[in-house]
Amino acid sequence: MGGVTRQMKRKDGLLTKIENRDAEIGVIGLGYVGLPLACEFVKAGFHVTGFDLDAEKIKKLKAGRSYITYIPSREIAGFLGSPGRAGRQGLEPTTDFSRLAAMDCIIICVPTPLNEYRQPDLSYVLNTAGTIAGNLRKGRLIVLESTTYPGTTDEDLRAVLETTGLVAGRDFHLAFSPERTDPNNPVFSIADIPKVVGGLTPGCLKIACALYGCITERTVPVSSTKTAEAAKLLENIFRSVNVAMVNEMKMLFDRMGIDVWEVIEAASTKPFGFTPFYPGPGLGGHCIPIDPFYLTWKAREFDFSTRFIELAGEINSYMPYYVVHRTVEALNERAKSIRGAKILIMGLAYKKDVDDMRESPSLKLIELYGKKGAVVDYNDPFIPETPKLRRYDLKMRSVKLTAKAVSGYDAVVIATDHSVYDYKFLHRHARLIVDTRNALKASGKDKKVVRA
């Protein structure tokens, strides 16, 4: 691994192609990570082939239509028609994975969910690796971006790729660079966020850093793929643990009659030693609710119990139950049973102003209210109807917000605080509002609003 072989010297050819923007880039998985990444490489002057199994996604992209709200369709249409190298268009979406054989650099952006037992599901990564192996050639660069436990790249992924007889670090380059995107963040785009990169060998690291250096202001090289994988987990576990702490404080302060939002605002005035985190109805998105369990699972291999991480997971997973409990209490105070009650969930997305509903706590809320006999609807301007989901069998459409409609619900639950919502309108017409996001910033004296 440490020495540089004659074959490894061939990396200079790929390096030159990257520097000249002549390298063919393949991005596998055109979801919330892969599509924005592909777009950045097109902007940097590369010809990018985007691979996805979802034929409907590919059909939309080929028609110049975006399925992610913060990526405009006009941008996709422009990429399709932009002149790449040798007059080729900048972005080519396809379901034809045999075209991987023509790629110089292949970036894997596929899901890494948990299975029904909350254990890592690497099937998407390993199946993708098998497809790449069938089209692998010498001198290529393979990069995994999907968040996973330390060891996935240089153990699991590498093992599949080396079934070809090619050796990672000698015949092809292998690296891990975790995605760090924050959907619809107006301040930090992919280009602004430093890119952590770990290579299997120094040569792999050099090539991967050169590639990402074309689209980001700064690359952060680390000593190994395991370090890069661990860095991503630490980022997300840091957030998970702190959100769990403030969620626990919210439940305690509610009992004590203290406004947790006022407490956070006051504590935030300290110019050092405190970072504000905010409570909510649970954690959403593909990273924060899932990633801690990847490390927890891997830790068992080393006979280590991650009690702190697991406790945070328990608290955050409990939050939808707490919101439902608060709703039941509030309805009881108004002589109304939860059974048969009409509930409107405001916001199906996991965060404000996006159409991403992966692991959204709103989905759990709909399930829990339904189990208690409530009739549940939702409104989300970014999600007009529920798509096919892995764990939830929902066939719902977003209801319109009219004065008559809102006043007809026994409780309106603000689960996602979209900027487009008219909260004064909601307050005026709703009978009861369960506010999980402090969207109304109502005081405890407001009898129409319940904090949860």
CA atoms of 140 and 312, how far apart (whole Å): 40
Is 111 buried (19+), middle (13-18) or exposed (0-12) by CB count in 10 A?
middle
Contact 17, 40 (CB under 8 A): no
CA atoms of 69 and 270, how far apart (whole Å) = 36
DSSP class of 249: H
- Residue holding tokens 């034929």? 55
Contact (Cβ atoms closer than 8 angstroms) between residue 143 and residue 108: yes
109, 209, 214, 287: the catalytic one is 287
Closest by CA position to 143, among listed 258, 244, 287, 14 = 14
- 309: which residues sit within 8 A by CB, 6+ positions away? 237, 240, 241, 292, 295, 296
| Separation of alpha carbons 44 and 257, rounded Å | 54
- Beta-strand (E) ranges in 99-218? 105-108, 141-144, 173-176, 195-199
Q: What is the dihedral of CA 392, 395, 397, 399, to 10 degrees?
A: -80
- Amino acid found at 91: L
Q: Are 379 and 349 in contact (CB under 8 A)?
A: no
In which order are the strands placed within the sheet that holds 449-451?
375-379, 342-346, 411-414, 433-435, 449-451
Q: How far is CA 343 from the centre of its chain?
A: 28
Write phi, then psi, for 440 (nearest 5 degrees). Answer: -85, -15
Q: Which residues contact 361 (CB under 8 A, 6 or more apart)?
A: 280, 281, 282, 283, 284, 319, 320, 323, 350, 415
Residue 287 designated active-site: yes
Beta strands in 85-172 (DSSP E): 91-94, 105-108, 141-144
Give Cα 90 to chain centroid, integer Å.
25
The Cα 342–Cα 411 span in angstroms is 7
Active-site residue set: 287
